[in-house]
Structures are given as structure tokens and as C-alpha cells.
Amino acid sequence: MRPISSRRLYTVENPRKSTTLTVMTGLFTLYCLLPLGWLVVNATKSQADFVSSFGLAPGREFALWDNIVQVFTYQDGIFSRWLLNTVLYVVVGATVSTFLAALGGYALAKLDFRGKRTFLLVVLGSISVPGIALAIPQFLLFAHIGMTNTPWAVLIPSFINPFGLYLMWVFTAEAVPTGLLEAAKIDGAGEFRTFLQIALPLLAPAGVTVLLFSFVSIWNNYFLPLIMLKDPDWYPLTVGINQWNKLGSTAGNGALIQNLVITSALLTIVPLIIAFLSLQRYWQSGLSLGAVKG
């Protein structure tokens, strides 16, 4: 990264800030934040305040801390268990799925194999099948292998991220110069090593994107775990929170704990923000692409 001229204060890398542009973007940000503001405000309310005070106004008591304590102690502290399950599903699932997508995307973009087009068509075609309709066949299949009600029933489907594969394919084609790969092979590197040492670093920005999407989609995965798991000890957060929410709307002896549902939703978002922030440094401009110029 060489500055064009050391005398100029504003460069392509660091142009003058535009207030107009910031305000326009800020307006959209407001649209994004308004509902989240509601979430934050309402996480500070007790159940009694939640059902009786105006949505964006604070409640009579500030109950955020109480709510958090309750979230972690309700039903013998099962929330922590759900949190750990989710972390397990997310970390393993996102890592494996991103790696498989990179491997596959690389093969699609840089290697030849028989049936490539068919493969692509089948993958793209399959994601057009509504997941809801597949849930029951998937359940029956997994039940047959004896994997329902185990973490595998959630993990294995999460290893497959067709969207990630697609992104990786597109990005590999774009960002990995074939010449560089061939140079590495001429230097005697094997195909897998070339992939690991040359291609993978170049794919970092795309990889982080795919990782993040996998992360979030596994984190928010609801329908499949709902079908596959019956034991609350293996629930991810989404299923658990929904069950808490449903407690209040099933007639009978359910407890109305919307304050816990909302607080737990807020707590659920926090790790995602952290993940996002810690991953975003990989997007810093230039980065691996500098290597192209060698």
C-alpha cells in the first residue's frame, strides 16, 4: 500500500469524510436501530412493566440486572446449557462449513472434474426446495441412522452451506489468479498445499463473509433443531427461547415470561456483535490481495 503522494492529506485510502453521505447512511441505520432500541429498552423492564408501560418508555423499575439473573437461573439455569450448545453448534458448524465451501468453491473455479455442471445445477436446484418440506424426510432419515436427539442431527446439516459454496466459487474465480497457482505448482507444491498456502489466504475476505453467514444462520437455526431434538439439554438458544415464549401462550399453567424472552434475545445478540467486530478486521482493505502483485 503506497500512498500516491505524501503531500496530499486525503488519499484513496483515506479520503475526505462526507457529512451528507454519513447522514444518509445514518438514516438507514436509524431504521435498523429503532427496533433494536425497543429490545434494549424492554429488556430493562419487569414482566409487569412490560405489559403495562409504553413500548419505548422505560418501566417503573430498572430490572435489567434482575432479568439477566433470572434468565440464567430460570429452570435450573438451562439457559447456560443452551448457550453452550449454541456455541458448540456454531463454532464447529461454521468452521467446517466454511472450510468445505472453500474446498468445493476452489474445485469448481480452478479444477476440472467430471459432472461439474451437473453438480452445480443439483446444488443450486436443491436449495430451491423449501426447507420446511424437507424437514420431515430429513427427520425420518436421521431417525433411521439413529442420530435424532443427538448434537449430530444439528451439526451435520449445518456443515453444508450451498450459499457459501456459491460465494466461494465466485470469489475464487475473481480473487485467485490462476497464474499464481500454477507458479506454486511449478515450484513443486502439491494441489492441496497450493490450496492451503496460496489460495486460502487470498480468500480470507470471502472466507470471513461465509464464516459470518454460517455463524449467523446456525446461530438462528430454528426449524431443524426443533424437529430433530426433543431433549431440552441439546436445544440451541433459538428453540429454547421460543419455548419460553410459548409457555405464556399455551392455555393452562404456563408462566408468562416475556421479560426473559426479550432479555435472552438481547443476550443472544451480544455474542454475534462480538463475533462480527472481531472478524471484521479481516476485511481491512488490500490485505491478502497485495500478494497478487507479489
Partner 1 sequence: MELTATAPPRSGRQAAPTAKRRKSQIGLAFIAPFGALFALVFIVPILYAAYLSFFQDKLVGGNTFVGLANYGKLFQDPQFWDGVGRVFRFTLVQVPIMLIFAMALALALDSMRLHGTKFLRVTIFLPYAVPAIVATLMWGFLLGIKYGLFGSLNEALGTDIDPFSPGTTLISIGVMVTWAFTGFNMLIFYAALKAVPRELYEAAAIDGANEFQIVRAIKLPALRGSLVVTIIFSIIGTFQMFNEPQILPSMVANSGVTTFYTPNLYAYNLAFTGSQQGYAAALALVMAAITIVVAYAVQIRGLRNASDQ
Partner 2 sequence: MRLSQKVKLLSAALVPMLALTACSGGGSGGGADGGGGDEKAKITVWSWDGTVEKAVPGFQAANPNITVEVVNAGSSQDEYKALDNAIQAGSGVPDLVMFEYFAVPYFAVPGKLADLGEFGVDKLKQDYVPAAWSDVTINGKVYALPSDYGPSAMFYNAATLKKAGIKEPPATWDEYYEAAKKIHALGDDYYIAQDTGDIFFLLSLIWQAGGRPFKVDGTKVHIDFTDPGTTKAVAFWQKMLDEGLINTKITGWSDDWNRALNDGTLATQTMGGWLTSTLPERAPKASGDFRVALMPQWQQGEKVGAANGGSSFGIPAAAEHKEAAFKFLEYFAHGGGLSSRVDAGAFVPNMSVLENDAFQSKPNTYFGDQKVGAVLAEASEIVGSGWQYPPFFEWARSIYGDLASPFYTTGKGSLAEILEQWRQRCIQYGNEQGFEVS
* Contact residues: partner 2, CB under 8 A: 47-48, 51-52, 114-115, 118, 136-137, 139-141, 143-144, 146, 148-149, 226-227, 230-232, 239, 242-243, 246-256
Among 68, 189, 200, 269, binds partner 1 (CB under 8 A): 269
Phi, psi of 156 (to 5 degrees): -60, -50
- Output the smallest distance, CB 109 to partner 2, in A: 21
Q: Which C-beta is closer to partner 2: that of 140 or that of 274?
A: 140
Q: Please report, as residue ranges, which positions from 59 to 98 form the binding site for partner 1 (by CB under 8 A).
A: none
8 A C-beta contact, residue 154 and residue 236: yes
**At residue 233, what are phi and psi to the nearest 5 degrees?**
-65, -15
Nearer to partner 2, 209 or 259 (CB): 259
Q: How far apart are CB 169 and partner 2 at their closest, in Å?
A: 20
Nearest-angstrom CA–CA distance, 97 and 209? 12
In angstroms, rounded to a whole number, what is the distance separating the alpha carbons of residues 15 and 201? 28
Residue 170 is inside which H or E element, if any? helix 162-175
- Residue among 75, 95, 150, 242 that touches partner 1 (CB under 8 A): 242
Determine, following the binding rule CB under 8 A, whether residue 240 of this chain makes contact with partner 1. Answer: no
Return the number of other C-beta atoms located less than 10 Å from residue 53's C-beta: 16
CB 283 within 8 A of CB 206: no
Smallest separation, CB 152 to partner 1 (Å): 11
Nearer to partner 1, 7 or 31 (CB): 31
